[in-house]
Structure 1
Amino acid sequence: RLLVNLPPGTPPDQIARALSARLAEMLGQPIVVENRAGASGYVGIEAIAKSAPDGYSLLYTPGFPIVIGPHLQKLNIDVTKDLEPIAPTARVTSFLIVRSTLPVRSVAELVSYARANPGKLNYGSGGNGSAPHIASAMMLRAAKIRATHIPYKGSTETLAALLGDQIDFTFDLGVAIPQIKAGKMRLLAVASPSRSALFPDTPTMAESGIEVNASTVHGVYAPAGTPREIITRLNRDIVRVMQTAEVKKVLGAIGADLVTGTAEEFADRQRRDRELFGAVVREAKIRAD
């Protein structure tokens, strides 16, 4: 089984299902995709961490719960010791979007507006300590501006608030792509190392003068203690599957970039990201709900 720690239909779930379909063909056996959401992804993570390390129970998760979550709250497991990284799969872009009625069309204009209207800007996220909250905190710190955080219960509520002019901006992980394309909200920049293939004319935050890279890497994990030969084989097969046309099509539709590498490279990337985002959490004094 491949357990996804977020609800059906979310970008991680879409990637996991595309991956599992081709991986099942390659392995010659069915793979059941199971969604087990809750507690910001930790319900699913804990379930896999406590499973038998035999290669038959795997976890698909975005990077956020792995690299940021441990800095926010006390967990029943240690993600650095109880999980075995197998393979990275994708980096999902974080989009900085504003309500369509806000009189700004660039990051520079947003910063100027915030400085000219101190205390008036607000932003939404899927809860205290969520990925959009962290990305917003990084931007506010880098730009030396202030805005009020309004936490919601997930991205759906956050986007509804943006569409209803109840908040001024948010960072989105791809759920808002249809609304952006329809012109219902305005995209200012992407908080990733490179531009999005979906919106190639939109600059990165760095190109806009504010150094913010809030992207983390999705990937597949096994319970700690899984034999190295199983990890190596699964890594090889997952890397091959992720480069197929079918999976790349899914990645493109949600604005995600392909990421591949060895299990060791994946573990090192997660370690570096934990250090980076840990510093942000401490400096911004962010706490989870």
Structure 2
Amino acid sequence: MQRKTFLKALAALSGVAAAALLAGPAGAQQAYPNKPIRLVVTFPPGGAPDILARLFADKAQLGQPVVVDNKPGAGGNIGAEMVAKAPADGYTLVMGTVGTHAINGALYSKMPYDMVRDFAPLGHVASAPNLLVVNNDLPVKSVAELISYMKANPNKLSFGSPGIGTSVHVSGELFQSLTGTSMTHVPYKGRQFAIPDLVGGSIQVMFDNMPSALPMAKEGKIRALAQTTAKRSAAAPDVPTVAETVPGFEATTWFAMFAPAGTPKDVVARLNAEMQRVYKLPDVAEKMKTLGLEPWISTPEELSAYQAREITKWAKVVKDSGAKAD
């Protein structure tokens, strides 16, 4: 009887151990996240990347807080580099932009990270036109008038941007290239430093992100001439596109989230699923649209393929314009 009792106890213990082993990997997967997640924004507060990051942080239901961390500088390279070199555990993410993940590699001779190899794509978040806006005192009210003025006054105007390599910057370079005009580029450390100078007249032109520029244009603080996407945005249906005057002009700003390369696939899937949920919420989608942002939710694989095409496109634009960050 003692032997039978012993064997039963041993069998029971073996079953518990086997169950624990089987549950181990699943338990480990369920453990993510078990501490706060840092979402790095590579530009100062107030711009589209920051708005999108904070929408995610406010609405995410991951069991842990998402903390937005603004790390601006070097056209977004400072913040992106931090994430590229962070542990690949899903606790440090970046709200990437067309600049940090498609343009900067062509602009900077020495990049602190590889735009593709150092990151695991999580998915697109949104896209937006840039808005060609001018100082109210500039005597132009259309793209055609701006081109005529620039040709009559070469190098007289200055255009601002929140940093070298941003979509705002290369939109201006593309405009000059396609119209045969010339302006002086003035890079700032963020749009919040450029806009007061635009309003005050120290700079006269800017291809600002629509979510930032549209409210100010509606308030009459600056004048909107055109938007940079191929088709007019529903947020500003009365504002023409640059392409309506300059055929072939198109510059789309996009935003997407990335994690460090090597982040486990189950973590990537978990984050993408939460992104899909958050950015499809009716109130979030409505907020984005009122700001001129178009919700654009994709899979990691779709983002990877699109990023490759964008890198090729903008490398040509940068080469043709002769723009360099250093």
TM over 0.5: yes
CA positional deviation for 1:90: 0.6
Contact 2:83-2:259 at 8 Å conserved across structures: yes
**1:270 and 2:307 matched:** yes
Q: Give the SS at the match of 1:216.
A: strand
The whole-number CA distance in structure 1 between the counterparts of 2:274 and 2:185 is 42
The one-letter code sitting in structure 2 at the alignment partner of 1:251 is: M
The one-letter code sitting in structure 2 at the alignment partner of 1:103 is: P
Aligned position for 2:27:
none
Contact 1:15-1:247 at 8 Å conserved across structures: no
The whole-number CA distance in structure 2 between the counterparts of 1:165 and 1:111 is 18
Aligned position for 1:72:
107
CA RMSD of aligned residues (A): 2.0
The whole-number CA distance in structure 2 between the counterparts of 1:72 and 1:209 is 24
Q: Identify which of 263, 266, 283 aligns with 1:226.
A: 263
CA positional deviation for 1:140: 1.1
CA positional deviation for 1:55: 2.2
Aligned position for 2:206:
170
Deviates more, 1:157-166 or 1:83-92: 157-166
**1:147 and 2:183 matched:** yes
Deviates more, 1:264-273 or 1:100-109: 100-109
Aligned position for 2:43:
6
Contact 2:167-2:253 at 8 Å conserved across structures: no
CA gap 1:69/1:119 in 2 versus in 1, 3 angstroms: closer
Q: Identify which of 47, 51, 55 aligns with 2:90.
A: 55
The whole-number CA distance in structure 2 between the counterparts of 1:44 and 1:237 is 23
Q: Give the SS at the match of 2:308.
A: helix
The whole-number CA distance in structure 1 between the counterparts of 2:78 and 2:182 is 34
Alignment TM-score, normalising by the size of structure 2: 0.81
The whole-number CA distance in structure 2 between the counterparts of 1:9 and 1:104 is 28
CA positional deviation for 1:82: 0.9
**1:43 and 2:82 matched:** no
1 or 2, which has the higher helix percentage?
2
Deviates more, 1:175-184 or 1:258-267: 175-184
The one-letter code sitting in structure 2 at the alignment partner of 1:91 is: S
Aligned length in residues: 287
Aligned position for 2:20:
none
The one-letter code sitting in structure 1 at the alignment partner of 2:146 is: L
Where structure 2 has 5 or more consecutive residues not aligned to the other structure, the ranges are: 1-36
Larger relative contact order (CA 8 Å, sep ≥ 6): 1
Where structure 1 has 5 or more consecutive residues not aligned to the other structure, the ranges are: none
CA positional deviation for 1:14: 1.4
Q: Give the SS at the match of 1:88.
A: strand
Q: Give the SS at the match of 2:242.
A: coil
**1:23-172 equivalences in 2 (<5 Å):** 23=60, 25=61, 27-73=62-108, 74-172=110-208
The whole-number CA distance in structure 2 between the counterparts of 1:41 and 1:219 is 13
CA gap 1:29/1:128 in 2 versus in 1, 3 angstroms: closer
Contact 1:139-1:210 at 8 Å conserved across structures: no
**1:175-254 equivalences in 2 (<5 Å):** 175-254=212-291
CA positional deviation for 1:259: 0.8
CA positional deviation for 1:254: 2.5
Deviates more, 1:34-43 or 1:276-285: 34-43
Deviates more, 1:251-260 or 1:115-124: 115-124
CA positional deviation for 1:248: 1.4
Q: Give the SS at the match of 2:160.
A: strand
Contact 1:107-1:188 at 8 Å conserved across structures: yes
The whole-number CA distance in structure 1 between the counterparts of 2:185 and 2:278 is 40
The whole-number CA distance in structure 2 between the counterparts of 1:209 and 1:75 is 32
Per-residue CA distance 1:217-257 (angstroms, 9 max, x = gap): 21111111112232223223212221112321331243111
Contact 2:47-2:191 at 8 Å conserved across structures: no
CA gap 1:107/1:247 in 2 versus in 1, 3 angstroms: same
The whole-number CA distance in structure 1 between the counterparts of 2:254 and 2:317 is 17
CA positional deviation for 1:283: 1.5
Structure number with larger C-alpha Rg:
2
Q: How much identity, in percent, do the aligned residues show? A: 38
